[in-house]
Structure 1
Amino acid sequence: MSKAIKLLSGIGVLVIALIIAGVAIIKTIDFNQYKGLIAEQAKAATGRDLTIAGDLDLAISLTPRISVDGVSFANAPWGSSPNMISIKHFAAEMSLMPLLSGEIKINQVILQGVEILAEKDASGKANWDFGAPAAKTPATSSEGDVVLPVVNAVSLKDVTVTYKDAQAGQQYALKLDTVDLKSGGLSAPLDLMVKGNINNQAFSVGGQLGSIGAIGGGDMFPVKLDIAALKLAIGIEGKLGVPDGAPMANLKLTVSGASLYETLAAAATLEPGLKGMDIPIKGAFKISSQMKLDGPTEISLADLDVSLGPLALTGRVAADLGGVRPAIDVALKTDTLNLDELLPKSDKPAAPAAAKPNDGRVFPGDPLPLDGLKAADAKVAFDAAQVIVQGMSITNVSVKLNLKDGRLSVDPLGAIVAGGKIDANVLLDTSKATAALKTKINAKQVDFGQILVQQGLGDMATGKVDMNVDVSGSGRSVRQLMAGLNGKTRIQIKDGRLESGALNVISTDLLNVFDSKDDKAIRCAVVQFNITKGMADTHAIVFETGGLSVIGSGSANLADETLKLRVDPRSKKANLATVAMVPVDISGTFAKPDWQIDMAGATGNVVAGAARTGAAIATMGLSLLVEKVAKETVAQTDNTDYCTPALAGKKVVPGEMKTAEAPKSQSGSGSAPPPVEKKSSNPLESIGKSLGGLFGN
């Protein structure tokens, strides 16, 4: 037993002696003699000079430490600075004992005063392009078993990274005050903390990543980070990786800030194009979602929740970039979308649009910008319980859009407007050389009186309106579409009422003689155009109250934008017949309509009042009913029921007039009140433009 103890003691002494001898030998070695060899190897690999200005210092202990100062790596010959990388101080400390078991354990790596310059010249050449790498000899099986070092901690202080792109005219400066990475081993999580600024915008990154050993292992890599940058707080938590060679991610994302305006102002320091951007959204915002990446082409945002000032949205967004063209799928919902709050407001007048050659046309002949509809496929669904625009509340809004192979369909588009239901669908097919358009719009029982109240015009009229638009056409411009348009447009009102405000605008005489409820009741108002190959023919234009009827006829040529219309007002009562009813023929173009009084068709004392009648029309804008033309008139009335056929969808033409006695109250004892004067160089100037809007401009 004593011999064994003596043997072990002798071996121990021998080992200690060998260690002491090894340390003594190592301490006598001047490691600076290897600086030249290191520089030669670096130049052979990169073609650049590596300079080690300071001494290579090795401190021998159970935790050896190597350090060096003044290391620099040369920049490309065309670079803006002599050095691409420079390091003031580098130090690394490792554990000696783990080496006995074949493990490389580095306790700490320290880098201080690091400057890195990454730049591109005007031709796009980068300074990190070192040319083609030298050919590598195949690794043997023993060489393939690489032992990864274990790094417990990395500390970087005072790091500057500058990026210059002469081709793009961009420059960024990244300053890292501190970078601290800590890990308990290859299988332990990695804690990190980074603080710095980019272009003087401070940022910080803190959190925890998966283990170093899991990197590149094919498994999903856990990530939990909190980022503060550009006045934003960003949270990322989940897993990412490259299993089976395909990038994958499943991350919970949150983004929040106190002010979107402040965030954009901060971002403008990095992207000058954002400077001066005016956004109406005020207050805090927050966005959260579950982000998934499935391979290199499929990405989705599920459980999307957006709170942006007064706007709150929920839904999902997905994109597949792997097909013939990108495919996007979006579904969003909101309780209230207040466009009055979201759309920009400005007291400054809008800048005038760039002047275009005046060809005297309303419908533009410029080619429609439809190429973008072939660049991607998309499905978009949007639902809103309420949309507010220009003070008007629209409820139950539902829109579904589908874009596939250049065919854009909006079906359905539904909403409740002023208590009435609106349904529409649109198909725009750009898959062929000439675009084809089909549009259907149906509105039922929309309370236009409610809309007028919301617009501050509650004293004009009340009632409900139905509308039907069913048109189709083809062309490469709006002008071509209109020239070949087919279908019909119809607007219908039943059982409405004219109020004093409307009567005052039309004629002060009507305000006086509409003395009964029946006179002011709108029995019907119908406007229907049947359209064939760009020719819009009047099927019915009827406006009828208890006291008067207005009948329209003629056509509007959508191809050459010319008008050939006649509007014929007729009284039903003798007291109304004393208000001159003047048929008006409307001609000219949509851009410059013209009008002419039909003297032969005028009722009342035409000879005495013709001049005054024409003046009254001109001074009272669009009024087709003018002031009394004489104290004594030959009254004519028309009691034809125009509403019944018009409401039944039948074609309406003017009936015959009958002579009626003027009532005693209109014997001429009093003078007519002066007309309300309205200044207008051409009272029908807006008719053509209105027709252009009706048919789809």
Structure 2
Amino acid sequence: MPRRLAWILLPLFAVLVAGWLLLGKADLGPLAARAGGAWLGRPVALGSLHLTPGRWIALRLTDGRLEGLPGGAPLFQVGRLQAEVDALSLLRGPVMVRRLEADGLRLTLERDAAGRGNWVFGDPATTAGTSNGRAGFPTLPAAMLRDAALDYRTRAGKLLHVRLAEAALHAADPAAPARLTAQGQYNDVPVTLDAALGSFDALHDAAHPFPAEVALRSDGTALNFRGSLTDPLNLDGADGTLALDAPDLAALLRIAGTQTEDRTPPLRLTGTLQKQGNRWHWSALAGALGPAAIAGQSLTLVEGQDGAADAVTAVLDFDRLDLDRLLAGDGGSGADVTLAVDRAPGTLLDLRLTARRLDYGAVSATDARLAATLRPGRLAVEQLALNYLGGHIAASGQVSNEYVQADAQANGVQASALRRLLGLGDLPLSGALDARAALEARGGTLNAAARAAHASAVVRMQGGGIGRRVLELVSTDIRGLFRTAGGSSPVSCLLAVVDLRGAEATLAPLRLRARDGTVSGHGTVDLRRRRIDLTIGTEPATTGTLALDVPVRVSGALDDPSIRPAIWTAEGRAALNAAGAVSRLLPALRPFARESPCLSR
């Protein structure tokens, strides 16, 4: 019986040995394609596949292709692939690939309408809650890719392009740290990568975060991450320090897929990066934007899902923001600016900035705050506030559907500080001014909107004082011929109403009520032609017996007007009608104007 069994098994063993030895000569491509397609549930194509048996199985593959989503691009393509696989590791796992070389590899990652990635296989109901794949990832101590490409379509539909001229992964053994290097392009911008990674044993231990130190370089821009990832294969669960050094911010914008020809300031930032799912959060920031030091706060990116736009929130604190230095040499061409806001922007923005000190031209303000948002079809400045000229100034506005609307208010601005800013010499006016302004305009461009703009402003003051010599000069007081009056006259109220339609501004009424006289005026300013026509005078019932109360007309070019005596015409007196003037203002300002006691005769 044993001899008979031996005669039966011996030929079978010989056939198996012969088949094993001849395996390297057979093209297993068609067979492997059918088996792989049935296993993965996707069409698989192989130009050829040869296996050389042994302790280390040599694999040679050409023209491999794995389909992706129905109607989508192939998930995986490769021109040539060679590898040496540990035969025993196929039984016990994870698979050990001693050497891997690939040329012409193409990987396209995208999602279907339900948000499921083309790299996910099997029934989602049965694969939900499974491991992130770390434990079963092959050990690749020596891997080389040449002429490789990765295309990744984000949840918002934006396509990111990665081209690798060469990439190499090396580790002395599964327990030793691994190193990944690569040279190529990201969104057509040259990039180099150098990453010091944990070992393959650490990668397979999904119970602990995977350590990583990653350095990216491009056009002088450096991005360095040092920390760990809980799901390194999907670049998720990041927690560590991220440092950015971008000598030219435009280069960083090009990496992100945004082209700009304007000169941009350098950006340096360090902080703590955390990523979970589609949310990137960079906090505890410190660094500088150009010459402006950044004192803290955060940047947050939420990747859009199911075709939605990405959302970026920036909350930054500055000790001092010098806009003159920050914007120096921006190369602005002075071209017209469109007011059309994209109804489907690629990125939604939420900007929150603060500066303990803000400098811009002649402006030197403190405690500046800016809150602005970009939403589909709408750009809004929700708050622009600062302390300036001894008072507090706040503004808000929006651009929507080629419509511009803005409001501003100032409280407690010192007249003396405003006089110095405007270069009004030694005009002896003191006190705290309050003001309100509003603007409405419609147009496809900034210039078109300016031509059709309707703006209104109201300036009020209660209390303070004005030099008596000014009142005597305006009232044509005869005593002014023999002396110069000293001291100031207490002001009970001041009111200035301005209504701007296009380039034509109407100033009416202008009224100042003081103890030694009431001054009224009206006029127009043509901003396009830069001409003024203003008549001011005192009211006879409010001045002394020696005052002639002859009004003065200021007219002509703004930079060189003529000043001569005038008379009050019927039209001029009608222009002083406060009720009529207030009714021309934008509705938001009318209550503020009517509250002034200067409106009562």
Q: Is the 8 A contact 1:620 1:683 kept in 2?
A: no
1:411 and 1:425 in contact (8 A); partners too:
yes
Determine the structure 1 residue equivalent to 2:539.
Answer: 569
With normalisation by structure 2, the TM-score equals 0.60
Say yes or no: does 1:32 pair with 2:26. yes
2:98 to 108, 123, 131: 108
Residues 545-600 of structure 1 deviation map (CA, whole Å, 9 limit, x = unaligned): 86x542699xxxxxxxxxxxx985347456652xx435xxxxxxxxxxxxxxxxxx
The partner residue of 1:542 within 507, 512, 522 is: 512
Tell me, in whole angstroms, the C-alpha distance in 2 between the residues paired with 1:394 and 1:516: 41
Q: Is the 8 A contact 1:387 1:393 kept in 2?
A: yes
- Give the distance between the partners of 1:172 and 1:410, measured in 2 at CA: 33
**Alpha-carbon distance in structure 1 between the residues aligned to 2:584 and 2:480:** 30
Residues 250-297 of structure 1 show CA distances to partners (whole Å, capped at 9, x for unaligned) of 221111112123443x34xx74xx444645x43x3211111234x658
Q: Alignment length, in residue pairs?
A: 492
Cα separation, 2, equivalents of 1:181 and 1:74:
23
The answer as to whether partners of 2:391 and 2:412 remain within 8 angstroms in 1 is: yes
Change (3 A) 1:172 1:543: same
Structure 1 residue aligned with 2:289, among 297, 308, 313?
A: 308
Q: Any conservation in 1 of the 2:108–2:151 contact (CA below 8 Å)? A: yes
1:459 pairs with one of 399, 412, 425:
425
SS at match of 1:453: helix
Say which is worse superposed, 300-309 or 391-400, in terms of deviation: 391-400
- 2:356 aligned partner: 385
8 Å CA contact 1:300–1:316 kept in 2: the answer is: no
Residue 339 in 1 paired to residue 331 in 2?
Answer: no
- Corresponding residue for 1:234? 223
Structure 2 partner of 1:587: none
Write the deviation string for residues 117-164 of structure 1: whole angstroms up to 9, x where unpaired. Answer: 64989x9899996999589999xxxxxxx9875432222122234679
Helix, strand or coil at the partner of 1:151: coil
Residue of structure 2 equivalent to 1:179: 167
1:443 aligns with 2:412: yes
Distance (Å, rounded) in 2 between the aligned partners of 1:499 and 1:262 = 61
Q: Deviations over 1:60-94 (max 9, x none)?
A: 4x6x351314233266899899x875434322224
**Cα displacement string for residues 605-639 of structure 1 (whole angstroms, at most 9, x for unaligned residues):** xxxxxxxx8xx466699xxx984579xxxxxxxxx
Q: Given that residues 242 and 248 in structure 1 are in contact (C-alpha distance below 8 angstroms), is that contact kept between their aligned partners in structure 2?
A: yes
Check whether the contact 1:160–1:175 (CA below 8 A) recurs between aligned residues.
yes
Q: How far apart, CA to CA, are the structure 1 residues paired with 2:487 and 2:585?
A: 27
> What does the per-residue CA deviation read over 1:508-566, in whole Å, with 9 as the maximum and x for residues that have no partner?
x799947755368464362369xxxxxxxx999534486x542699xxxxxxxxxxxx9
CA–CA distance in structure 2, aligned partners of residues 413 and 136 of structure 1: 53
Write the letter of the residue equivalent to 1:387: L
Q: Which residue, 50, 54, 57 being the options, matches 2:45?
A: 50
Match of 1:191 among 166, 171, 179: 179
Contact 1:219 1:241 survives alignment (8 Å): yes
CA 1:493 to 1:340, structure 2 compared with 1: closer, same or farther past 3 Å?
farther
Bigger CA radius of gyration: 1
**Contact 1:215–1:221 (CA under 8 A) maintained in structure 2:** no
Between the aligned partners of 1:489 and 1:188, the Cα distance in structure 2 is 74
Cα distance in structure 2, aligned partners of 1:135 and 1:422: 58
By how many angstroms is 1:314 displaced?
A: 1.6
Q: CA deviation at 1:201?
A: 1.7
Given that 2:370 and 2:381 are in contact with CA atoms closer than 8 Å, whether structure 1 keeps it comes out as no
Which residue of the partner structure matches residue 505 of structure 2? none
Shift of 1:38: 0.9
Equivalent residues of 2:76, 2:108 under 8 A apart: no
- Structure 1 vs Structure 2: percent identity of aligned residues? 14
Match of 2:195 among 207, 215, 221: 207
CA distance in 1, matches of 2:282, 2:45: 47
Matches within 5 A, 1:16-165: 26-30=20-24, 32=26, 34-44=28-38, 45-53=40-48, 56-58=50-52, 60=54, 64-73=56-65, 85-94=76-85, 106=96, 108-116=98-106, 118=108, 133=122, 150-161=139-150
Aligned-pair CA distance for 1:235: 0.8
Name the CA shift for 1:628/1:545 in 2 (closer, same or farther; >3 Å): farther
RMSD of Structure 2 on Structure 1 (CA): 6.5
The structure-2 alpha-carbon separation of the partners of 1:353 and 1:234, relative to structure 1 and needing over 3 Å to count, comes to closer
Tell me how far apart the structure 1 counterparts of residues 219 and 136 of structure 2 sit (CA, whole Å): 41
SS at match of 2:96: strand
CA separation of 1:302/1:194 partners in 2, compared to 1, >3 Å: closer, same or farther?
A: same
Letter in 2 for 1:176: L
Distance (whole Å) between structure 2 residues aligned to residue 178 and residue 249 of structure 1 = 26
Structure 1: runs of 5 or more not aligned: 1-20, 139-145, 356-368, 370-375, 402-407, 427-436, 472-487, 530-537, 554-565, 583-612, 631-681
Secondary structure of the structure 1 residue equivalent to 2:431: strand
Partner of 1:422: 392
* Matches of 1:330 and 1:211, distance apart in 2: 36
Gaps of 5+ in 2: 1-14, 128-134, 303-309, 342-347, 373-379, 397-405, 438-457, 497-507, 523-535, 568-574, 594-601
Q: Does 1:252 align with 2:241?
A: yes
Residue pair 2:194, 2:215 contacting (<8 A) in 1 also? yes
* Residues 472-530 of structure 1: CA deviation (Å, up to 9, x unaligned): xxxxxxxxxxxxxxxx9841352455999x999x89x799947755368464362369x
CA separation of 1:37/1:120 partners in 2, compared to 1, >3 Å: closer, same or farther? same
Q: Does 1:394 align with 2:368?
A: no
Cα distance change, pair 319–102 in 1 and its aligned pair in 2 (3 A): closer
Pair 95,337 (structure 1): closer, same or farther in 2 beyond 3 Å: same
The residue aligned with 1:526 is: 493
Shift of 1:227: 0.8
Q: For the structure 1 residues 460 and 177, does the alpha-carbon distance in structure 2 shift closer, same or farther, using more than 3 Å as the test?
A: same
Check the 8 A contact 1:392/1:451 in 2, yes or no: no
Question: Judging changes above 3 Å, is the alpha-carbon distance between structure 1 residues 129 and 275 closer, same or farther for their aligned structure 2 residues?
Answer: closer
Whole-angstrom CA distance in 2 between matches of 1:409 and 1:291: 28
Cα 1:189/1:348, change in 2 over 3 Å: closer
Query: Do 2:479 and 2:546's aligned partners in 1 also have CA atoms closer than 8 Å?
Result: no
Aligned to 2:272: 290
After TM superposition, list the pairs within 5 Å mapping 1:497-646 onto structure 2.
497=467, 513=480, 516-518=483-485, 521=488, 523-524=490-491, 526-527=493-494, 541-544=511-514, 548-550=517-519, 568-570=538-540, 572=543, 576-577=547-548, 580-582=549-551, 616=553, 627-628=564-565
Contact 1:449-1:458 at 8 Å conserved across structures: no
Q: How far apart in 1 are the matches of 2:167 and 2:323? A: 45
Change (3 A) 1:336 1:499: farther
User: Quick check: 1:104–1:149 contact (8 Å CA) kept in 2?
Assistant: yes
SS of the residue aligned with 2:539? Answer: strand
- Asked whether the equivalents of residues 79 and 119 of structure 1 are also in contact (C-alpha less than 8 Å), the reply is no
User: 1 or 2, which has the higher strand percentage?
Assistant: 2
The 5 A counterparts of 1:669-680 are: none
In structure 1, the residue matched to 2:5 is none
Counterparts in 2 of 1:545 and 1:424: CA distance versus 1, 3 Å? same
2:41–2:121 Cα contact (<8 Å) kept: no
Instruction: Return the letter of the residue paired with 1:393.
Output: S
The answer for the alignment partner of 1:492 in structure 2 is 462
> Which amino acid letter does the alignment assign opposite residue 151 of structure 1?
L
Contact 1:93–1:109 (CA under 8 A) maintained in structure 2: yes
TM-score, normalization by structure 1: 0.53
Q: Specify whether residues 120 and 544 from structure 1 end up closer, same or farther in structure 2 by C-alpha distance, changes over 3 A only.
A: same
Matches of 2:90 and 2:385 in 1, distance apart?
Answer: 75
| Matched residue SS, 1:461 | coil
2:45 partner amino acid: L
Aligned to 1:432: none
